[in-house]
Amino acid sequence: MYTVSEQTAERIGFLKKAFPVFAEHGLENTTIRILCRETGTVQGTLYYWFDDKTSIVCDAARYGMKVITDGIFKYISANKSDLNSLCYDFLDEVSRYKKELRFLYQVAASPVYGEKIREAKKELSHIYYKYVCRLSERINCDEQMLKSVFDLFISAAVNCVIWDEKEKSQMQLEFIYSALPEIMRAQPN
């Protein structure tokens, strides 16, 4: 008999394997059969952990959002001292998550899964806000001002990944970079 923590660890291990399967095959093409085959999980175990496919999709999407957010914010934090490189290399970093972000977009836009996953956006917004707070302390910048800048970065990332508009996205990032000195000068003392 498994303990609750062992069951939780196995479930998280499954989500870690399932998220890339969804990203590779897409929302509509990922069947329970494909999930079981590619994660090495038997169907009975899936339905022990999850009520239905909707629960699997939403939990995998939540897991994936956290992984991607952590990865992108780790990259930003590691490169914050060289804003020029950050602005010019950011889209390459985000593009590493192209399939995963497109899957998350499919889930959010879906009439079946969208409403359920939008609840996770609240969790993500909380995580996002914590990153912004930490970064604003490190670079001595107003949190609300920095949040606005990050929102522009996210917009550029969406244009690049979802709409394949890398050139437009790069222009957005160049604008942010050119405006940063003025934003920093506007900081209250």
Residues 11-26: tens digit of each pLDDT: 999 999 999 999 999 9
Predicted confidence at residue 135, as pLDDT, reads 77
Distance CA 100, CA 15 (A): 13
Q: How many residues does the chain have?
A: 189
Section 148-156 average pLDDT:
84
Q: Which residue has the higher pLDDT, 102 or 118?
A: 102
Residues 59-84 have pLDDT tens digits of 999 999 889 988 888 888 888 788 78
Section 121-145 average pLDDT:
78
State yes or no: pLDDT of 1 exceeds 60: no
Section 161-175 average pLDDT:
91
Token pair 């490190």 is found at 138
- Cα angle 101, 127, 110; round to 5: 35
Which of these ranges, 78-87, 96-105, 133-142, 179-188, has the smallest mean pLDDT? 179-188
**107, 58 contact by CB (below 8 A):** yes
Predicted confidence at residue 88, as pLDDT, reads 83
State yes or no: pLDDT of 189 exceeds 60: no
Residues 169-185 have pLDDT tens digits of 999 999 888 887 777 66
